[in-house]
Amino acid sequence: MEWHNRKKLEIIIEAPLLGDVLEIFDTHGVTGYTVLPALQGRGHDGVWSRDASIGSAGKMLVVMCILSETRLDRVMPPLKALIAEQIGMLTLSDVKVMRPEHF
């Protein structure tokens, strides 16, 4: 089986910002992403929990995205600008995929 190199971008973001993140992905033709709810955690400002919030503020989401290096270079500037002042985290790692045409 042949494996192909791609990048995995993981973003932990505040729920109200999800629309903006997905708009950046859609604008730059990123097609492989998944959004997951985050239950609770601890960050720079302390503990947070999904159960302590009723609206979207205070809730966190994880956006997991697989993409090529070319697309990564295009989405990073607007993504960095978007989350620069927000609560959240952005990590990048190398992954291998079986179907490169999907990403």
Q: Judged by CB, which is closer to other proteins: 4, or 80?
A: 80
Of the candidates 58, 89, 97, 100, which one interacts with other proteins according to CB under 8 A? 58
Task: Find, among 70, 63, 66, the residue nearest to 21 by Cα.
Answer: 63
Which range, of 9-17, 28-36, 62-70, 73-81, touches other proteins by CB under 8 A? 9-17
Q: Judged by CB, which is closer to other proteins: 35, or 49?
A: 49
Which range, of 4-12, 25-33, 62-70, 83-91, touches other proteins by CB under 8 A? 83-91
Q: Judged by CB, which is closer to other proteins: 13, or 67?
A: 13
- Enclosing H/E stretch for 42: strand 40-43
CB of 10 to other proteins, least distance (A): 20
Q: Which tokens belong to 10?
A: 């993981």
In order of 17, 32, 44, 46, 90, the CA distances from 86 in angstroms are 9, 24, 12, 15, 11
3-state secondary structure at position 70: helix
Q: Alpha carbon 21 to chain centroid distance?
A: 7
Contacts with other proteins, residue ranges (CB under 8 A): 14-17, 19-20, 45-46, 49-58, 85-87
